[in-house]
Structures are given as structure tokens and as C-alpha cells.
Chain A
Amino acid sequence: MSMEKLVEVRNLKAYYKTRSGEVKAVDGVSFYIRPKEIFGIAGESGCGKSTLALAMLRLLKPPGYIAGGQVIFQGKDLLKLKAEELRSLRWKYISYIPQSSMNALNPVKRIRDQIADVIKTHEGEIPDEEIDKRIEELFTSTGLSPAVAKMYPHELSGGMRQRVIIAMSAILNPRLIVADEPTTALDVVVQRGILQLLLDIRNKIGSSIMLITHDMAVQAEVVDRLAVMYAGKIVEIGDVDHVFKEPLHPYTSALIGAIPSIREKRRLKGLKGLPPDLRRPPPGCRFHPRCPHAKEICKKVEPPLVEVGRGRVVACHLYVEEEVRA
């Protein structure tokens, strides 16, 4: 896989203003996504995964706001683009699959018209027959019946709606698809189909996919590289096989230890305690109050994200010291 970067996020900060202070939901996050790769973001609920997606797409609504950073896409900083430039770039280059597909479709518009809106906005007036033909092709290739196009959202099941949205996300052959928990509300069988669909889309149109899910089993199965987030920060990034085989950050190990297995009977290793209050994150490493390996330095100094070889980065004092020693 090439080392080229399709999109690079640098030191992105997205906060929410509240009466009792700022919630630092995304606090200095940096990573990049390569072309055609599926990049996973894992982490428990409330760690800032969805905020990260919304901030990257500049869709964050008040009281949320972007406090700093850059999102470099095709040489331009998305956060600095003019509204109109950003609008014309949306969906055509970067599409988005929202967390709750249940309400993501306009309830009073037929599916066909909601997709036609996108085509017409980005490609100008196109004859209706051509649009219908494209939608039909798209639906056939994504395992949807072309009849779905004529339906209203409420006539579809949750899984079908999710399929429609995923199909819609691919209609303009975007370079990047940001999928925020696309399978969370679905049962395992439907989940499989949806994941397969995402893989098919990647293989067919060559988009990169940023897959946000707390489900480590899903991550293990589909992503190429994985970033683990904890309390608004990325704690570890690496090729998914390496991360699962040899997790470096204690939090990553804990997440992997919490995946149930049907082959071996073992006690699931839970993680004691709760994620910190993001208005007042603990000093030093944010994970230290729950970390089994916490040392004195962890309580005071925030560990930087350092490269530890083979494209892996980790933010943990256990490894910083090793680097120093080596």
C-alpha cells in the first residue's frame, strides 16, 4: 500500500461550550488516511469518535466548535475553505454515513428524489431518465431492489435504510466515506451484509473509508489500520493485525480483552472505572486512573504520540522510556 496520504488531520481540536466549562471532546488528534484504505476509529462511547467525524466534515453544530487544527484534503485545509467551496466538495469527494440512519432520510421525499438531489446539485441538470438509470445501477450493485427508489423512508426497515444511505454515499464515487457506527443499530446478520457492502464499495470505486465503531470485532474484521481513541485523544495507531496481535497501549489491550469469543470459554476482562469527565480531564495521561501499569510520571506528564516502528504510534510512557533507553 502506498504511503501517500488522502487526508491528514493535524492536531484537531473540537470542543463543546457548556455552562460548566468546555468539554474537550476531541483534543489534539492527528492521523492520516491512505487512499483506498479502511481506517478504523475505535473507543468507548463518549470518547469523541463522532465529534471527530463531524469536526472533520465541518458539520459540528453549536455548542460544538472547532478550536484548532487542520484537515488537509487534496492539499487544501477543509477547515479554511469558503462555505461554497466546501459545499461543492461535500459528497462529491467526501461522503458521510451518519450514526442514526433511522432519521437520516427526509421522511416526505421518495428515496429516488433524495438521491437525485445530490446528483443534480453536484453535476448540474441531468435528464431524469439518466438519473433513474444511475440509481437503478447503483441499487442493483448494492443489493437493493430498484423498486426501493420509489418508496418513502418509512416503508423501509432499518437495515434497508442503512443500505440506501450507504448506496447513496457511493453515488458520486467519492474519495473518502466517513461511516459513523454504520452497523450499531442492526442485528448481526444485517451487520455482516452492511460491512460486506462497504468492502465492495471500496473495492469497486476505490474510496477510502473511515469506519467509526466501538465494536472491536467489526474493526478486526474489516479495517486495514486502526486508531484507538480514549477521552478525546488518540492513544494508538497501527496496522490492524499488529494492533490485535500485540496491543501496545494498556487501553487497547483492555478493549481487545473485552471481545467475547465463542471458541474459548474465558472470563471477559472488563475495565474498572469510568472514562473521565472531559471538562476536567485528569492531568498527565488521561488513562492513568484506570491503567494497571500507571507510574508516577503518568499522573503528571502527558505522554506524546510517538512512532515505535512499523508505522505504529502510541501515546504511553511505557514506550517513551523504552525509546529513550534504546
Chain B
Amino acid sequence: MHPYVRYLLGRLATYAGVVFFAILINFIIPRMIPGDPIKMILGKLLLQGTKVGGEELVEAYKRMFGLEGDIWTQFVCYLRELLRGNLGYSIANFPATVMELIHMALPWTIGLLSVTVVLAWIIGSILGALAGWKGAESKVWGYVAPFALVFSIIPYYMFAVILVFLLAYLIPIFPMSGAYSIGMIPSLSWSFIVDVIRHSILPALSILITSLGWWFLSMRSLIIMIKGEDYILMAEAKGLKEKTILWSYAFRNAMLPQTTGLTLALGNIVGGALLTEIVFAYPGMGWLLYNAITSLDYPVIQGVVLIIILAVCTATFIIDMIYPFIDPRIRYGAE
């Protein structure tokens, strides 16, 4: 067997194990919560004045999740439903299913965050590398670092509030909240796309600038560290051009930890930038989770958490898979 295949299988087994445990915990925790979630749904439905369908709902749930059997039967039924993509019904938005809600929220979050996270990473890494390389010799970069530090320390939601105040309230250039204007119907038309981009600029900016600071500082310190390595001195002795030494020797090596950081950050985006989404009422995963928590919508909380765990695990798995290609020193397990 090729060593990479063996390595891959090992990682895959770990991945499967972690996911299984995540699902197990996600299954157990709601069952430890006192009270009966289905009764809660019924109560809520009654409050809303719905009298029809209550009994059927109880029956459907019992059938679907084997609620009358022992815990193992229930777990098997839960897994079966999970594989079908069924995470149950939302309490607050009955009869919408959890899957439907996630399906609606996920694209907004991924769209907003994948772009900002990747952009922040690229810009932050490049600026950080230049700042670390020029270092003390350059006055300009000396002033940039403290700014980056300030921006990386400001919590992103605080920055979001500041942005809203400045650019939506004082100078109303951008809309205050939402992902698109009320009354617009989501479609692939230009006017809708422009509207979406206009709405996404402030939330994107708040995340971009604060996470940019972090990537900048981390890359800067990596480059400063690598500058002292023997292979950099050697590259200089070889008479290589400065830009070759910076990008092909220093930056290339600093990219290793930086890539790990990016992958983990990408795994986390599925959870949404919770507070940013709250500040901007942005209908992504964070907003969904926030609303689910305030309305005690257990099935939705459970569903969102499961998706987050899966995303983080998958990101970690992906980095394990690609790491041997970016760092030749990584060995595929036993030699």
C-alpha cells in the first residue's frame, strides 16, 4: 500500500471516530434535559391556537425516533433519520424542519464568511510578511504593527457596532441590517446581487479588518523568526534576489502554520460570526442559533451544533490530507 493511502485511511478512521462521538453527545445531551420537548411543541402550538395536528405530531415523532423503545433503539432510529438528513422539527417555526432552516441560513453565512476569512488571510499574510521582512529598517511598517494590534484586539462585534454607527447611521452609505432589502425577492438578477453585496459590506468589513490584524501579526512574527534561520543566511550568501528570498524561502516556510490557522478558521465559519450576524440581523447560522437559543428551540440548537462539529472535523481532516503536500517533512505515519 502506498504510504499516503495508509496515512489517509488512518486519518479517515480518526475522523469517523470523532464524528461518531460528536453525534453520540449530540444525541445524549437533549435526553438529559428535564422535560419533554414534544409536550413543549404541543404547548406552543396550543398557545398559537393550533388544535389540529398535535396528536399526529406526537405519533410521527414516536415512530421516527423510536421514542417508546430503549435508548439503543432510539439511537439507531436517530442515526437512521440523521442519514436521511432529518434533524426533526423546529419548535419555534413549526412545521418547518430543522434541515430546512439550516438550508436557508447556511448559504448566507458561508457566502459572507468564506470570502472575508480567505481575503483577510491573504491580505494579512502578505502585509505581515512584508512588515516582518522590512522590520526595523522601515519606518512605515513600524507604524503598521501597533495599528494591527489594536484592530486584532477590538472584538469584531464592537467594531461592527462602530461601523454601523459611522457608515449606516451618521453617514448612511450602507444599509443597517439584513442580507437584502425588504421586499426584494431572492433571484439571480443584477439588482438583487448588487443589493446583497451592499448589505454584506459592513458585516464583511467588521470581520475582515479585525481578523486581518490577527493574520498580519501572526505572519509578521513567523517571518521575523524565520529571518534568523540558517537557510535564509544561506540564501543571501547565494546572492539570490531579495524577493526570491522573501517569497520563496521565508514566506513559503511561514505558510505552513498559517495554513493550519486558515483551515481551522474555515471550519469555524459554519458556526457563523454569531455576534456580527446579531448586530446586522444577518440571516445566517449565527442568527439562526441566536434565535433558537432565545426561543428555547432545542432541535434547532442541536442541529446547528451538529453542523458546526461536522464542519470543524471536516476542516481538520482536510488539513491533515493536504499537509503532506505543503510540508514535505510530514511523514505518513510509520515508515
Q: A residues within 8 Å of B by Cβ?
A: 57, 59, 61, 87-92, 95-96, 98, 100, 102-109, 117-118, 121-122, 152, 154, 165
Contact = CB atoms under 8 A, between A and B. Distances in A.
Nearest to A105: B231
B295 to A, nearest CB: 51
Nearest to B228: A61
Contacts of B238: 90-91, 95, 117-118, 121
Query: What size tier do the contact residues of chain B reach?
Result: 20 to 34
Nearest to B240: A121
Contacts of B327: 108
Nearest to A107: B329
A57 B252 CA distance: 26
Nearest to A165: B234
Contact of A104 (B231, B256, B326, B329): B231
Contacts of B36: none
Given A90-B237, A98-B234, A154-B328, 15 more contacts: A87-B240, A87-B241, A90-B236, A90-B238, A95-B237, A95-B238, A96-B237, A98-B230, A100-B230, A103-B229, A106-B231, A106-B252, A108-B326, A109-B252, A117-B235
B239 A89 contact: yes
A122 B238 CA distance: 9
A93 to B, nearest CB: 9
Interface string B260-291: 00000000000000000000000000000000
Contacts of A103: 229-231
Given A88-B239, A89-B239, A152-B328, A105 B234 contact: yes
A104 B328 contact: no
B248 interface: yes
Nearest to A84: B241
B233 A152 contact: no
Nearest to B236: A59
A90 B239 contact: yes
Given A103-B230, A105-B231, A152 B329 contact: yes
A106 B239 contact: no
A107 B230 contact: no
Interface of B: 228-231, 233-241, 244, 248-249, 252-253, 256, 326-329
Contacts of A102: 230
Given A106-B253, A108-B253, A91 B237 contact: yes
Contact of A121 (B229, B241, B253): B241
Contacts of A98: 230, 233-234, 237
Contacts of A90: 236-239
Contacts of B230: 98, 100, 102-104
B229 A117 contact: no
Contacts of A57: 237
A57 B237 CA distance: 8
B137 to A, nearest CB: 10
Nearest to A106: B231
Contact of B239 (A61, A104, A108, A122): A122
A117 B244 contact: yes
A165 B233 CA distance: 13
Contacts of B249: 106, 109
Given A100-B230, A152-B328, A154-B329, A107 B253 contact: yes
Contacts of A165: 234
Nearest to B231: A106
B239 A92 contact: yes
Contacts of A104: 230-231, 233-234
B248 A109 contact: yes
Contacts of B235: 106, 117
Nearest to B232: A106
A152 to B, nearest CB: 4
Given A117-B248, A121-B244, A91 B239 contact: yes
B328 A108 contact: yes
B85 to A, nearest CB: 41
A270 to B, nearest CB: 32
A96 B237 CA distance: 6
A10 B234 CA distance: 25
5 contacts: A106-B231, A106-B252, A107-B328, A117-B238, A154-B329
Nearest to B327: A108
B239 to A, nearest CB: 3
A91 B236 CA distance: 9
B322 to A, nearest CB: 14
Contacts of A117: 235, 238, 240, 244, 248
A92 B237 CA distance: 10
Contacts of B229: 103
Contacts of A96: 234, 237
Nearest to B253: A108
A106 B241 CA distance: 15
B217 to A, nearest CB: 22
A190 to B, nearest CB: 19
Nearest to A87: B239
Nearest to B252: A108
Contacts of A109: 248-249, 252
A87 B241 CA distance: 7
A184 to B, nearest CB: 14
A107 B226 CA distance: 12
Contacts of B252: 106, 108-109
Nearest to B328: A152
Nearest to B137: A62
A237 B21 CA distance: 73
Given A108-B327, A154-B328, A121 B239 contact: yes
